[in-house]
Structure 1
């Protein structure tokens, strides 16, 4: 065969993979996410928090001004771009609080008084993916705006503890601290700079850069080689005035009264610029070195900083992937749920028509129903269909074959209990199915 007559080699189409660190939610995990969503909705309802949804894309200035420009998120991690249509600088939201505050200001939500709000949704940060941390991840957060007292600080912490209890999480501990007010942090900042300037040779590159811009963030360093130096640094608690100490002590007293144990961590500063007074984190050793699963605190200056009328506020957020990972480690993930209540089997042709009518009647009555559809469009044996029915987790099967159709009836089979199978007239299948499901639940 000459080269001219040889068939052309067909090139294989290259597979396109998802972006690293941005993961699919697969059906096998959907029930776990649904369970977590259900618990979160019950929690927020119990405390009177209202749902607020903000867009995934915000003006970049929302986060530059809200989070602070000298932060890892703004400097290194944000997905920012210019809108080619109008030149706007936009960013995929890296966290929820700044976006919520923007919405509260823009929509005058505090006009009628304080608000308790909650949100959930995807966030985006360009960081190295690791266990429980992704470039697209999901957060749940609560924000209490317009409340100045220590009682709301305690309330949102109590919400967190109730959530861990509801989810059956083990090995989660609460750490708290106070960042005081701006003048107290200024005194502490001067002392920190003086201290770290004496030890500049021991500072890593990030800490040297932060020394004159945001020295408080040096205390948040995860570099193990710097921990001894950090342990010897001046503590902010020693610079707190009477009112800040009164607020912090009141929060601790309310937690103690509600049997919520906590550890004061004087090095806890959180990674964002908008915090003041109470800050806290829930941490665990079950997920490796990156042990924080949720955190937050009070951020009274933020609303005014973003252009609104000054108002106090506090809140916290958690990474949902990390919480699900901890649920897995704790053995508290719920068992897989059945896909349906009833699985309907048939042999095609007229039996398919009758089966589809029955399936729609069942669904109209609120009964979750799967109708068998052969992958190749052809009929399949009842034996192979029954394997599908069993795998679906259905409690009962409705079987309509040619023999049943000739008698104007169907077979109702118990798949999870006795295995009993009985004949039922077609126009009585709905009632029989309801009775069977009620009986099985008792």
Structure 2
């Protein structure tokens, strides 16, 4: 049995990909202590790395965030995503050569606004089947270990699960388009070589057609789609003037060759939904860990039904959903694919991200770190923790 693999994707920035991946990775690790959860950060902005490794809080306005600084100090290029991508592209498992470490383009990686130049050492015809699989664990670190090593536990008032791992990104994603085919084959082999008790979760950013996004879509099998209930954000999944519309990108990858695209939509997670009550609800098929406001229910239903209409009538979307033609009704479609995460208290969510402490581990009471000082209400926190646990069960069932 191959390890479970998930990719978090949406071509709209700010849709909640990294935040939801952060919360769910930690929650899954806490709920399944026998499972090793590996989060791979394929985002230029390194938000997942930042939240997992100490949080977004900054000791001063122009300083690096605590999480980014911890990742930089606690890992080398060879151990981060830079090293993983060079190993996947070249097959070299012993670290990056001087040439491999020379990255180019926007933020030190692929530049979507200029043509790519082939690397001198890139053939594009590597016999990846003859190679020993790359060990992904070589590029994984425990956030709990990093925090203990760098901060020596001084400011950390909580425990991150010891079975939670991250492959850190620090803004450099050195992978060129012509390197993707070999990288995909090597990543698939590396995932297959992991022990069966590992779960791999890959974060991406809004550049859905970037090489690292293609790598994720073609290596992971289940796509988690965070989505706001804003209609314009919804439309951008299908029409995007930058060429990054998610479903257009998936369709292009599907057309490359049979079996090239592996990711199919497993769950659409409506994000930052206004809630009415802290109780699980069933809304004509849409199962949610909370009870949303009536206007939000209607908007979610409209979006789900539009997707189902295209899904059923034109065969446009059915290929990109895990169960394909098995879904026979609108209500079945809503129930199978849709869940949500409510708009949390600003105090709780800000504290979680600033501190790098997932909601499942966040303590109640007074919290102070760097410039942050706030009080977490125990009742509010407990409701959110229950809802995150329900969402975790829904996504990873």
What TM-score does the superposition give when structure 2 sets the normalisation length?
Answer: 0.25
What TM-score does the superposition give when structure 1 sets the normalisation length?
Answer: 0.23
**Bigger RCO of structures 1 and 2 (CA < 8 A, at least 6 apart):** 2
Highest CA radius of gyration, 1 or 2? 1
